[in-house]
Structure 1
Amino acid sequence: MSELVKGQFARTRKALSQALEGVSSEVLEIVPEGFNNNIHWQVGHILVVTEHFFFKGQEKIPANYNEIFGPSTKPDDWTGDIPKVETLIEQLNEQLVRIKEIPSEAFYQKLPKRFLGNETYGELAATGAFHEAMHLGQIQSLKRVVEATKVK
């Protein structure tokens, strides 16, 4: 199970990198009508949620990231220094290395208490892989909508 989940994260991160390739900084920041967030937020949100799922209590990202990219946040509320997408991508790459280093047996350990219906770290990891792929789809949709709107 662990190798499947790790492989899913690797595939999704590769697809994320490809989706962001060549996207202008302007496109990254636009929140189109009908959406609450932009591509920049989506990238940060993937990083924050995955970090929380896999490394809670041992996070290697700045504490303020949760206030910027956590659930129920949005770019309209941003203040202060916001990390650039390039920085977030570097951190996603570093995070993937750490995910791949998690021992297989860790995926079978029980969580201290059920979280989002998950009982083991492996189940939570699978939920994380689903979550990440879902936000990749959002990024692809946002990119399409923003680029189509800019052409008109």
Structure 2
Amino acid sequence: MQKELLTFQLKSVRGWIKYHLEDTDDDLMDIVPAGFNNNLHWQFGHVIALMESELVRLLGKNDDVEKRFKKYFGTGTSPDDFDDETPSVDEIKTLLDQQQKEYGGLSEDSLKEPLPEPFMGMKTSYELAGFVILHEGLHAGKIQEMKRLLENQY
């Protein structure tokens, strides 16, 4: 039952994020709006980065994608650090769907596993999964704000 709720929540927030990604003019992706320290490209990539870390931990999958996304979109990074190796918006689009499918493959038991060490008071994978989804919702709101601002300016 816990997995079903989390899967539904992820589907909902990912739907919102994917809508904004598909609905955003490519010319706006790399503009840092006044008052912000990153751009839409960074926001979409940041969502991928945190979820990828969780999928690596929970599924034991290869961490190459996680490392690349943390390098460019992890906490404390900036679009100022983007280069020719920065994951593209097209790669982000692909991973939004792929991660959702991978998450759907988690077992209920894997979500009950204790974290290697508590994180912000959370002790189980289930609690952390809820946080990851909340995090995506927060960034979906930020994406919507930035997009609206940019559309009115450009």
Task: Find the partner of 1:73 among 59, 77, 101.
Answer: 77
Q: Who is 1:122 aligned against?
A: 126
Instruction: Tell me which moved more, 112-121 or 13-22.
Output: 13-22
Partner Cα separation in structure 1 for residue 107 and residue 65 of structure 2: 21
Which amino acid counterpart does residue 55 of structure 2 have in structure 1? F
Indicate if the aligned counterparts of 1:54 and 1:125 stay in contact, CA closer than 8 A: no
Instruction: Tell me which moved more, 127-136 or 83-92.
Output: 83-92
Secondary structure, aligned partner of 1:113: strand
Q: Who is 2:110 aligned against?
A: 106
Partner Cα separation in structure 2 for residue 30 and residue 129 of structure 1: 26
Q: Who is 2:68 aligned against?
A: 64
Over residues 40-79 of structure 1, what are the superposed CA-to-partner deviations in whole Å (9 max), with x where a residue is unaligned? 0011110011111232353361622211011110101223
- Provide closer, same or farther for how the CA distance between residues 69 and 61 of structure 1 changes in structure 2, counting only shifts above 3 A: same
Aligned residues: CA RMSD: 1.4
Q: Report matched runs for 1:79-98 at 5 Å.
A: 79-98=83-102
Gaps of 5+ in 1: none
Indicate if the aligned counterparts of 2:110 and 2:125 stay in contact, CA closer than 8 A: yes
Alignment partner of 1:13 is 2:20: no
Partner Cα separation in structure 2 for residue 121 and residue 113 of structure 1: 11
Gaps of 5+ in 2: none
Partner Cα separation in structure 2 for residue 81 and residue 107 of structure 1: 33
Partner Cα separation in structure 1 for residue 117 and residue 26 of structure 2: 41
Partner Cα separation in structure 2 for residue 110 and residue 89 of structure 1: 31
Partner Cα separation in structure 1 for residue 64 and residue 7 of structure 2: 19
Partner Cα separation in structure 1 for residue 140 and residue 45 of structure 2: 12
Q: Report matched runs for 1:128-143 at 5 Å.
A: 128-143=132-147
Partner Cα separation in structure 1 for residue 55 and residue 141 of structure 2: 22
Q: Who is 2:48 aligned against?
A: 47
- TM-score of the superposed pair, with normalisation by structure 2: 0.91
4+ residue runs over 6 A deviation: none
Q: Who is 2:148 aligned against?
A: 144
Partner Cα separation in structure 1 for residue 56 and residue 6 of structure 2: 15
Secondary structure, aligned partner of 2:123: strand
Partner Cα separation in structure 2 for residue 96 and residue 115 of structure 1: 23
